[in-house]
Amino acid sequence: MLHIYNTLSRTKEAFKPVHAGEVRMYVCGMTVYDYCHLGHARMLVSFDVVQRWLRASGYAVNYVRNITDIDDKIIRRAVQTGRRMHEVTEFFIDAMHADERALGVARPDHEPRATQYVGEMLDIIGRLRDNGLAYQADDGDVNFSVRGFAGYGKLSGKSLDDLRAGERVAVDTAKRDPLDFVLWKSAKEEEPPETKWQSPYGFGRPGWHIECSAMSKALLDLPLDIHGGGPDLKFPHHENEIAQTEGAFGGNLANVWMHCGPLMVDAEKMSKSLGNFRTIRQTIAQGEAAENEAVYAVNPREAEMLRFFIVRNHYRSPQNYTPDNLVDAQNALDRLYQALQNVAPDQAGIDWQEPQAQAFKAAMDDDFNSSGAVAALFELATQANRDRDARAAGQLRALGGVLGLLQLDPVAYFQSPTRYSAAAMEQGAPAGQLDAARIEALVAERGQAKQARDFARADAIRAELRAAGIELDDKPGGLTQWRRA
């Protein structure tokens, strides 16, 4: 039986959806004003693995991941670049989708945009006013009255007495209490017209938190089976979602709350605000990704390496980004692909009675422990190599597919260059400076030298290729396959 760690209860619980066999899952998505960084990649891949395992377990999943396309940062970007707000958001939505495709992240069943649900947001705000939980301040903003909601702090574990103005909560003299948060922002005269909506409170735009309450209620109804997001959303975003949704409708917003762990750089969380981020495209682009192009050429070997780097860690654990850790992930993924290249997999599909498949399932049913599932993949790779076992190789490939891994052709995989090898890191350049045509020519010349019994020349060519990061595998019948180390 599937067990999930619930941030709300702070315990691992047996998963029981509201409707048997169905899962309604809402995950907070991107604010689209810039390119996605590796911290975003961790969230995207982590919840992609969650929805994949839920579907593999037989659940009918309705997965919603929203897009925030109205926000102060988006408006600032539009003003700075002289573009309309929707031009900024469309560009970065396309860029986000390019990153998702590269990482093998499936599109959610629904991908609502905040600007499509302003009416639903105003309805919730009206309900909160009627319930005495919202008020319009002197500056025109409509705020949520935090102290009026008895359950505030139950997700994050923060008490009202511990929360002080200036710590994640902006001091605003127009608020009745510095802990109160904005539901509706009054329009500023200098802001572009497209950022303003008419409302009972005058022209304005929604606050950030109210967006997800409206979209999750409209598309999935309440209570949600699973609500998820990145580690920084637990407070204040998800805490505020709970307060405004439950304050408006009663009951629970979600039965299970899931938060992935942070991606760290030198003991600090990777984030744009800290300036320590690296974008997905910088990490996996084939060559240099143009800054003015949303879609870019992807290095498939490096893209799968990045997904593997994320998947082989438990989603709740902190994860450290360093170039050396990417090299280690690339080497480990190479070992799995080497088993698939050495032994042609059978096509029988997953045999869930097989011991390693059972270990894989047990790990995934234990709070989506993909780290344990990957360990089962390495056991299968060892078995395939040791016993020349096509069945084990088939299990390896099929179970890898459940995690979104190991679906590339092994020969093509190894012929893709990678910057994430020890040799490449030492040289400060991608391994395999030789292009494919030159490599093929040298392999052919080596074959001719061997036929002519010029073994010195054949050995010299092998040494030349190895120095360039190219390894040769001589197969029966005179076939030689090459791969980039």
Residues of the chain with CATH 3.40.50.620: 3-133+208-264
Start-to-end CA span in the chain (Å) = 41
Q: pLDDT of 237-295, one tens digit each?
A: 999 999 999 999 999 999 999 999 999 987 787 777 777 789 999 999 998 777 789 99
User: Token pair for residue 330?
Assistant: 């690339």
The bridge status of strand 480-484 relative to strand 470-474 is: antiparallel
Q: Tell me whether residue 272 is annotated as binding.
A: yes
Write down the CATH number for the domain with range 299-416.
Answer: 1.20.120.640
- What is the Cα 46 distance to its own chain's centre? 5
Q: What is the pLDDT of residue 427?
A: 63
Judge whether 396 and 345 are in contact, CB under 8 Å: yes
Q: What is the CA radius of gyration of the chain?
A: 26
Residues 6+ apart with CB under 8 A from 318: 261, 262, 263, 264
Weakest mean pLDDT among 152-166, 177-191, 348-362: 152-166
**Residue ranges in 285-322 assigned as alpha helix (H):** 300-311
Q: Tell me whether residue 237 is annotated as binding.
A: yes
Mean of the pLDDT values across residues 161-183? 74
Judge whether 261 and 316 are in contact, CB under 8 Å: yes
Q: pLDDT of 114-156, one tens digit each?
A: 999 999 999 999 999 999 999 999 999 999 999 999 999 999 9
For 405, phi and psi rounded to 5 degrees?
A: -125, 165
> Which residues partner with 323 through β-bridges?
none
Q: Tell me whether residue 212 is annotated as binding.
A: yes
Strand ranges of the sheet holding 319-320, from the earlier edge strand across to the other edge: 268-269, 263-265, 319-320
Structurally, at CATH architecture level, domain 3-133+208-264 sits in 3-Layer(aba) Sandwich (3.40)
Q: Tell me whether residue 28 is annotated as binding.
A: yes
- What is the Cα 87 distance to its own chain's centre? 24
Instruction: Count CB neighbours of 376 within 10 A.
Output: 23
Run of H or E residues at 336: helix 323-342
Q: What is the pTM of this model?
A: 0.90
Q: Provide the percentage of residues in the chain whose pLDDT is more than 90.
A: 76
Q: pLDDT of 407-458, one tens digit each?
A: 999 999 999 989 998 777 666 555 446 778 888 888 887 988 888 888 888 8
Q: pLDDT of 180-207, one tens digit each?
A: 999 999 999 888 999 999 999 999 999 9
Residues of the chain with CATH 1.20.120.640: 299-416
> Which residues partner with 143 through β-bridges?
135, 182
Mean of the pLDDT values across residues 168-186? 82
Q: Tell me whether residue 36 is annotated as binding.
A: no
